[in-house]
Amino acid sequence: MAPTMWDERFSKPEYYYGTEPNAFVASQKARLKPGWQALCPGDGEGRNGVWLAGQGLSVLSVDASEAGLRKTEELAKAKGVPIATHCADLLTWEWPQARFDLVVAVFLHVNPEMRPGLHQAMLAALKPGGLLVLEGFRKAQVNYGTGGPRDPEMLFSAEALASDFAEAEVLELNEVLRELAEGAIHQGTAALVNLVARRPLT
């Protein structure tokens, strides 16, 4: 796979978004069960996947950046937890079907015409009853400049997520303002949308 913009960013010694998990992901700890199979698409340098592994989950971290995945493995070693990694373009990857108990997607923004298909792939990767945890920047983020795409069409809304996951049972869907403290890049007030959804049992 050709080097990406993210390879350039992730090749530096510091962790671009820090090494601590996303706050919304960490807030879902009570829902997690040791032994679960978890998928982290677009996991970057692995801060969320490594944290999930530390909770006793079996984690597959997938990203298009080989540099990011190397740092994921380094972080997992430093934390003393196992993690599996796979380098793939999520838009062309042959997504597993009904394999995971949990999918965690954080700040995974793509062009709007590709977004519904990507979200359907996430849902299909879950076992029946499996959970999806997602956080992204919403359109109001253009007023804050604390991270995320500058193109508002690539930003989320609660309505768009509700549409994309209409087949799922939505447990949480909230638009919030939160203070980010994630590495050197995500710092300050941010306009976010949070989703927790469950794949139906049938």
DSSP label at residue 138 = B
Q: Assign residue 148 the CATH number of its domain.
A: 3.40.50.150
**Given this model, what pLDDT does residue 183 score?**
81
Handedness of CA 153, 157, 163, 165 (dihedral sign): positive
* Cβ 99 vs Cβ 128: under 8 Å: no
Instruction: Enter the pTM of the model.
Output: 0.95
* Rounded Cα distance, 52 and 55, in Å: 5
* Rounded Cα distance, 131 and 33, in Å: 11
Average pLDDT across each block of 10 residues of the chain; the chain has 202 residues. List them in order.
75 92 97 98 97 98 97 98 97 97 97 96 98 97 91 95 97 96 87 98 86
In the chain, the amino acid numbered 121 is A
The residue segments making up the domain with residue 12 are 5-198
**Given this model, what pLDDT does residue 184 score?**
78
**Given this model, what pLDDT does residue 202 score?**
79
Question: Count of domains in the chain?
Answer: 1
**Given this model, what pLDDT does residue 9 score?**
87
